[in-house]
Each structure stands twice: as C-alpha cells, then as structure tokens.
Amino acid sequence: MPDHVPAYPYSEASSPDQAPKTHELLKPVLWLLGTWRGRGRGTYPTLADDFTYAQEVTFSHDGRPFLRYEAKAWLIDGQDGPLRPAARESGWWRVQPEGRVEALITQPTGIVEVMVGDVGEGLAELASHTVALTPTAKDVTATRRRYTLTEGATLDFVHDLAAVGQPLQHHLGARLGRVA
C-alpha cells in the first residue's frame, strides 16, 4: 500500500470572486469565467441535414495564467429534448501578455486543435495554428472560433471548420447564457 497522500490541495475557481486570486495575465479573460449553457445550430456541406444542439461550456482557473476549458454538446429536438450526445472537448487557454492566447483543445474524435488568437473585453478570436489528428480521425485541416459577449450578457459562439476536403466555413453557431 502506498503511503496516504492528502487530496489535491489547490482549488479551482469559476468566478473572479472565488479563491484563488486571479492571475494578473487573466484580466482580459475574466468575463469568460463560469458555466454557460444554450442552444445552437450546426451545418456542413457534407451533411444531409442541419442540426440543432445544446451545449454547456465551463471556463475556470487555479490562480495560474491559464484557463481550464470544458464543453459538452448534445443534439436536441424542437422541444429541447435530448436526441443523443454530440461533441465533447476539453483543454487549456494559455493567456499571454496583451491578451494573446494559445489554446489546446482535444476531442474524443481524435482531433487536437492548437490555436492562437486574441482576447479582449467581450471578444475572443482563435484560429488553428496546428491541427493534430489520430490515425483514424476525420481529416480536419483548420478551425476558427469566435466568442462574443453581447449586451444582453449572452455568449455567442461561432465555429468554422475546414475538413474532409472542404474549405474553411461555418460549422456551428450558438447563443449561451450564464448558468453559474
């Protein structure tokens, strides 16, 4: 039996009011902290039909200059009833001076988006620097993400995708509201 080790002693915060104190470099991304949930629509020229989905997204931090990112999506019917689980992803947003961001986002479909971009008050824009794929993943060559905080305090999300021989174009658009 290994010696007893006390539980991980550091906390994770999803609001600027919670401990630990936010790192100075996180100032431009504080508006993203928390859990957001809402509905979106998805499309792609290779798909027979557009689809409607729900998504829950959480940004948190542990006092260091990066955000932990986690998102779960599920397809829904016209009454918000769940049809089936869809994309899941998790990753890290490494915040650099002057609001520059380097993000790593991984998906269980074998895709890793390594992204670079900028974040300012109410706007974050990231574009893929590299996309890494496992041997059996779909052929994704580029992605782009934009998060906009609207005056109504919703988080609008747009995801563009270049994949399976198609040029970079719209895949997803969603409007999320803060739930925590």
Position 95 contacts ligand HEM (CB under 6 A): no
Least Å from the CB of residue 165 to ligand HEM: 9
Q: Out of 36, 53, 66, 93, name the contact with ligand HEM by CB under 6 A.
A: 53
CA-to-CA separations, 176 to 10, 32, 58, 67, 163, in angstroms, rounded: 29, 11, 11, 18, 25
Was 138 annotated as part of a binding site? yes
Closest residue to ligand HEM, judged by C-beta, is 46
Q: What is the DSSP letter of 122?
A: T
Judge contact between 129 and 116, C-beta under 8 A: yes
Judged by CB under 6 A, which stretch of 14-22, 28-36, 117-125, 164-172 contacts ligand HEM? 164-172
Position 54 contacts ligand HEM (CB under 6 A): no
Was 171 annotated as part of a binding site? yes
Q: What is the DSSP letter of 19?
A: S
Dihedral sign from CA coordinates of 13, 16, 22, 27:
positive
Position 58 contacts ligand HEM (CB under 6 A): no
Least Å from the CB of residue 17 to ligand HEM: 29
Kindly provide the residue ranges of all beta strands, DSSP E only, lying in the chain, ordered along the sequence: 34-42, 51-60, 66-76, 82-95, 100-107, 111-120, 123-133, 140-149, 154-163, 169-178
Least Å from the CB of residue 176 to ligand HEM: 11
Binding to ligand HEM in span 111-130, by CB under 6 A: 111, 113
Least Å from the CB of residue 149 to ligand HEM: 19
Was 23 annotated as part of a binding site? no
Q: How many CB atoms lie within 10 A of CB 26?
A: 21
Going by C-alpha positions, the residue among 8, 21, 24, 166 that lies closest to residue 98 is: 24
Going by C-alpha positions, the residue among 109, 108, 93 that lies closest to residue 145 is: 93
Residues that bind ligand HEM (CB under 6 A): 42, 44, 46-47, 51, 53, 55, 73, 86-87, 111, 113, 138, 140, 143, 159, 161, 163-164, 171-172
Output the known binding site for heme b. Answer: 46, 138, 171
